[in-house]
Amino acid sequence: MKTLLTLPALLALVLVPTLSQARDLGPDEAIRLRDAGTILPFEQLNAAARAQHPGASIAETELEEEYGRYIYQLELRDPRGVMWDLELDATTGQILKNHQDD
């Protein structure tokens, strides 16, 4: 007996592996990567993010590995109370995203 897959089922088979290419890194792994020199020190990454929004405070941070690239994500609150989402390349410090939180 043959089973035919619908288009949505086929798309799910193709997209699910693609969508799962990001993984959150825990504190121990993040520290290991920092100590090995694979990623920049968190103080340096935080300073780069704050330079984009002077006077802002960091509300939340997260380190992910996406497609073999380490991405440092931050949520900042500026002095006016506006929330900003930033993503930096954790290896180079390059700003990848900088937009107001929805």
Could you tell me the pLDDT band of residue 30, with boundaries at 50, 70 and 90? very high
Confidence of residue 11 (pLDDT cuts 50, 70, 90): very low
pLDDT on residue 4 = 52
Find how far residue 98's CA is from the centre of its chain.
Answer: 12
- Edge-to-edge strand ranges of the sheet holding 83-89: 22-24, 57-66, 69-77, 83-89, 95-100
Segment 54-101, tens digit of pLDDT: 999 999 999 999 999 999 999 999 999 999 999 999 999 999 999 998
53 neighbors 100 (Cβ within 8 angstroms): no
The full set of domains in the chain, from first to last, is: 22-100 (3.10.450.40)
- Whole-prediction pTM: 0.77
